A and B are shown apart, each in its own frame.
Chain A
C-alpha cells in the first residue's frame, strides 16, 4: 500500500522543462529529484545506476590494508529492484493525452485527459513546484507535486531535504473528500548506509497505523545488504513482517534478492550494450502459493528517437510498449499492447504527450 502511494505520482516528480517531459513520459523518475536535466552523452550508465568505486592504487611502502577506499552510499532500499522494474513495459489501456507546460524554471502544470473502457474516463490537473535549494546538479528542494481529477480526488507529495543527510517526504491521497492514504517518511543517508522510517496512515484515535523501517549497508563497493521491518496495528490486531535483502552490482549488471515472510523476490538487470537492457524477475509468495517469472527487455535508439520495451512472463502474458518522439515537435507517442494467452484477453493503449 505504501509503495503504491509512492509510485502513484506518474510523470510529475522531477519532470521540469520540455526536454525531460518529452523524453520520458513513463515511468516516473526517482522521487526527490527536483530539476532533472539529463545530459545525453555525458554518462554512459542509466540514471540511478551506480558503478562500484575503483579503489585508488596503494602507495609503495604502505600496507594495503591502510589504503581502504571509503564505501559508497548504497542508495535507498526501494531503488534496489527498480533498475530491473524500469525495463518492463507498463500496461496501457485506452487513450491518454498529456499536455505539460512549464511556466517557469520552478513551476510546471500538466493536463491529462483519459478515455478508457476499463477505468473511469476523466480529466486530471497536475502541478509541480521545485524550490531553489539546490543540493546537487540535478536536485533541488523542496519539491511539491500534486494532482487532482474531475471528481476532486487529490494526490499530493512534498519532498524536502532537511539537512545534507536527512530527507523527508509527506504524501497524501484522497478519494473525493475522504482521506485514503497519508504517510510521512524520513530518510538518513550516511557515508556507507541508508536508513529510512515510514509512518503510514497513523490514526491516534483508533490506535492504528503502519511503520516501515529500512536499512541498507554497503559491505563492499559491489555488495549491499539490508533489511526491512513492517509493523502494522489496528484495533484487535497487530503484526510484523521482516525481510532481508542483498544486492550485488557488477560492471554491467545488478542482481538483487529479497527474502522474507511474505515470500521471495529476485531480480537481475543486465546492460548488454548502449541499446539493449534486459531484466529477469522472479516472485514467489508462500501466502498465496504462487510463483511467477518475467523476462523483459528495453531497446533504446536515441538516433531514431525510439524506445521499445517488451516482456513475456510465466503466466503467458506477452506485452510491448513503443515510444517515439516526434522531433522537432515537442510530441511523444506511446503505443502499448498486452496479450494474455491463458485468459484469452487483449488490452491496448495509446498515449500522446505534448511538452
Chain B
C-alpha cells in the first residue's frame, strides 16, 4: 500500500481524534464564552426540570410514627 493511501486511511482517524480533543478542550475551558453559554443553558434546563418536578414537599405534614 502506498504511503498516500496509508495517509488517507489515517487522516479520518486523526480527524476524529482531533475533533474529540477540540471538544474536550472546549468543555474544560472556563474562559470560553460559547462553552459557558452551553453549560449554563443546560443548568437552566435542569433547574426548570427540578422546579417542575419538586411538588411533593410539605414541611407541616405530621411526622410518620414508627
Please report A residues at the B interface, Cβ cutoff 8 Å.
253, 266, 268, 270, 272-273, 275-276, 278-280, 282, 284, 289-293, 295, 299, 301, 303-304, 314
Q: Which of B40, B50, B57 contacts A284 (CB 8 A)?
A: B40
The answer to whether residues A291 and B40 also contact, given A268-B48, A275-B60 and a CB cut-off of 8 A, is yes
8 contacts between A and B (CB under 8 A): A266-B44, A268-B48, A270-B51, A273-B58, A276-B57, A290-B33, A291-B40, A295-B47
Measured CB to CB, the nearest residue on chain A to B55 is A272
Contact string, B31-66, partner A, CB cutoff 8 A, digits 1/0?
001001101110110011011101101111000000
* Contact yes or no, A295 B50, CB < 8 A: yes
The answer to whether residues A291 and B37 also contact, given A273-B57, A282-B44 and a CB cut-off of 8 A, is yes
CA of A280 to CA of B50 in the docked complex: distance in angstroms?
A: 10
7 other contacts beyond A295-B47, A314-B40, with CB at 8 A cut-off?
A: A268-B47, A272-B55, A276-B57, A284-B37, A291-B40, A293-B44, A295-B50
B contacts with A, residue count (CB < 8 A): 19
The answer to whether residues A280 and B47 also contact, given A273-B57, A275-B60 and a CB cut-off of 8 A, is yes
Closest 5 A/B residue pairs (Cβ): A280-B47, A278-B51, A270-B51, A272-B55, A282-B44
What residues of chain B lie closer than 8 Å to A301, measured between beta carbons?
A: 59-60
Q: Which of A273, A280, A299, A304 contacts B48 (CB 8 A)?
A: A280
* Contact yes or no, B51 A280, CB < 8 A: yes
What residues of chain A lie closer than 8 Å to B54, measured between beta carbons?
A: 272, 276, 278
Residue of B33, B40, B50, B57 most packed against chain A (CB within 10 A)? B40
How far apart are B30's CB and chain A's nearest CB, in angstroms? 11
CA of A273 to CA of B60 in the docked complex: distance in angstroms?
A: 12
Residue of B40, B44, B52 most packed against chain A (CB within 10 A)? B44
The answer to whether residues A293 and B40 also contact, given A272-B57, A301-B60 and a CB cut-off of 8 A, is yes
What residues of chain A lie closer than 8 Å to B60, measured between beta carbons?
A: 275, 301, 303-304
CA of A41 to CA of B29 in the docked complex: distance in angstroms?
A: 51
CA of A282 to CA of B45 in the docked complex: distance in angstroms?
A: 10
Measured CB to CB, the nearest residue on chain B to A302 is B60
CA of A154 to CA of B39 in the docked complex: distance in angstroms?
A: 43
How far apart are A320's CB and chain B's nearest CB, in angstroms? 15
CA of A268 to CA of B60 in the docked complex: distance in angstroms?
A: 26
The answer to whether residues A280 and B59 also contact, given A268-B51, A289-B33, A291-B36 and a CB cut-off of 8 A, is no
* Contact yes or no, B59 A299, CB < 8 A: yes
Measured CB to CB, the nearest residue on chain B to A306 is B59
CA of A276 to CA of B41 in the docked complex: distance in angstroms?
A: 24
* Contact yes or no, B59 A314, CB < 8 A: no
* Contact yes or no, A253 B40, CB < 8 A: no
Q: Which of A268, A289, A314 contacts B43 (CB 8 A)?
A: A314
